[in-house]
């Protein structure tokens, strides 16, 4: 029996990268998974692969920056599976390699509306289904915010806002058996590969204690742990899945 047998999960940004790997890992542990993403063809492909492997998954189009889309995804999940037990807020538009002064208002609004507002909206929509039976919420942040990396102003600020929201919700919702935790991942992705030359990726890997850049499959087991009963006594914490890059972040 899988660790998530009988549970229903929503994973946003599940068409590729970390989100896709988490959705597959959840299904492998017995969860019924709804994959929500803007590019629904990618989510449909991921869901089809899960079903081919014997899992239960459905894909749905969703722009997390649109309030109505968020409500529609949760309503779809409840209609299909009865409730929501697990929520992973992974979708995020990002803006990087831009100085503080060169960020436009539109850049900041777009990144914040996708990351923070999308996370907040999904958490609020799912709360009523978790309130009486408990639940697990896993939100994605970034060391870019924790470390204050240059040229990541909008993205870093948004991710730190998500961490703050997660800690507040962990305090307010703990009495309902709802755990809210955060993962700060560092893994190779399409976006990272597109924005960073290979020598840059090699330089990142060389600076890590583990001497390699992580893959999405390195992050998924941590998300499984945070969605399972194994993490029942943990809430409001940030887990740095980054090969030791943020080794001093907890000090």
**3-45 residue pLDDT tens:** 999 999 999 999 999 999 999 999 999 999 999 999 999 999 9
Residue 67's domain is classified under what CATH number? 3.40.50.720
Look at residue 174 and tell me if it is in a domain: yes
**Cα 251 from Cα 214, distance rounded (Å):** 23
Inter-residue contact 11 to 33 (CB < 8 Å)? yes
Q: Is residue 248 part of a domain?
A: no
Q: Is residue 209 part of a domain?
A: no
In a domain, 62, yes or no: yes
Prediction pTM value: 0.94
What is the reported pLDDT for 173?
A: 98
Q: Catalytic pick from 155, 176, 233, 237?
A: 155
pLDDT number for residue 251: 54
Evaluate whether residue 251 is within a structural domain.
Answer: no
Residue 133 pLDDT: 96
- The verdict on residue 134 lying in a domain is yes
Say if 117 falls within a structural domain.
yes
Three-class secondary structure assignment of the chain:
CCCCCCCEEEEECCCCHHHHHHHHHHHHCCCEEEEEECCHHHHHHHHHHHHHCCCEEEEEECCCCCHHHHHHHHHHHHHHHCCCCEEEECCCCCCCCECCCCCCHHHHHHHHHHHHHHHHHHHHHHHHHHCCCCEEEEEECCHHHHHCCCCEHHHHHHHHHHHHHHHHHHHHHHHHCEEEEEEEECECCHHHHHHCCHHHHHHHHHHCCCCCCECHHHHHHHHHHHHCHHHCCCCCCEEEECCCCCCCCCC
* Residue 246 domain flag: no
The pLDDT value recorded for residue 187 is 82
Does 155 qualify as catalytic in the annotation?
Answer: yes
Tokens representing 230 are 């194994």
Q: Which two tokens stand for residue 17?
A: 């990268």
Distance (Å, whole) CA 37 – CA 151: 26
- Paired with 180 in beta bridges are 137
Residue 125 has a pLDDT of 98
What does the block give as tokens for 239?
Answer: 């887990």
> How many other CB atoms are found less than 10 A from the CB of residue 236?
16
Task: Supply the angle between the helices 216-227 and 17-28 in degrees, to the nearest 10.
Answer: 50
Range of the domain at 127: 8-186+215-238
Question: With contact defined as beta carbons under 8 Å apart, do 138 and 183 qualify?
Answer: yes
Q: What is the pLDDT of residue 189?
A: 63
pLDDT of residue 137: 98
Low-confidence ranges of the chain (pLDDT < 70): 95-96, 188-197, 250-251
pLDDT at residue 192 in the model: 58
pLDDT at position 165 is 98
Q: What pLDDT score does 22 carry? A: 98
Per-residue CA distances from 242 to 63, 81, 142, 212 (Å): 27, 34, 10, 10
Spatial distance between the Cα atoms of 136 and 145, rounded to a whole number of angstroms: 23
Domain count within the chain: 1
């Amino acid at each position: 029996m899988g660790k998530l047998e009988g549970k229903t999960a929503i994973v946003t940004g599940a068409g590729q990268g970390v989100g896709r790997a988490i959705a597959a890992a959840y299904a492998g542990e017995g969860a019924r998974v709804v994959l929500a993403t803007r590019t629904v063809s990618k989510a449909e492909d991921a869901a089809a692969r899960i079903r081919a492997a014997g899992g239960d998954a459905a894909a749905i189009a969703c722009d997390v920056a649109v309030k109505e889309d968020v409500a529609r995804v949760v309503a779809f999940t409840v209609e299909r599976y009865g409730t929501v037990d697990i929520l992973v807020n992974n979708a995020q538009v990002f803006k990087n390699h831009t100085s503080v002064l060169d960020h436009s208002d539109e850049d900041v609004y777009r990144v914040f509306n996708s990351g923070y507002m999308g996370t907040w909206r999904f958490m609020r929509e799912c709360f009523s289904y978790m309130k009486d039976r408990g639940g697990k919420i896993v939100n994605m942040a970034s060391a870019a915010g924790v470390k204050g990396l240059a040229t990541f102003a909008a993205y870093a600020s948004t991710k730190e806002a998500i961490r703050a929201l997660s800690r507040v919700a962990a305090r307010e919702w703990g009495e309902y058996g709802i755990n809210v935790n955060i993962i700060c991942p560092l893994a190779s992705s399409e976006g990272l590969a597109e924005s960073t030359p290979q020598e840059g990726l090699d330089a990142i890997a060389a600076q890590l204690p583990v001497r390699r850049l992580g893959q999405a499959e390195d992050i998924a087991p941590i998300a499984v742990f945070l969605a399972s009963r194994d993490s029942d006594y943990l809430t409001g914490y940030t887990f740095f899945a980054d090969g030791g890059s943020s080794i001093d972040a907890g000090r």
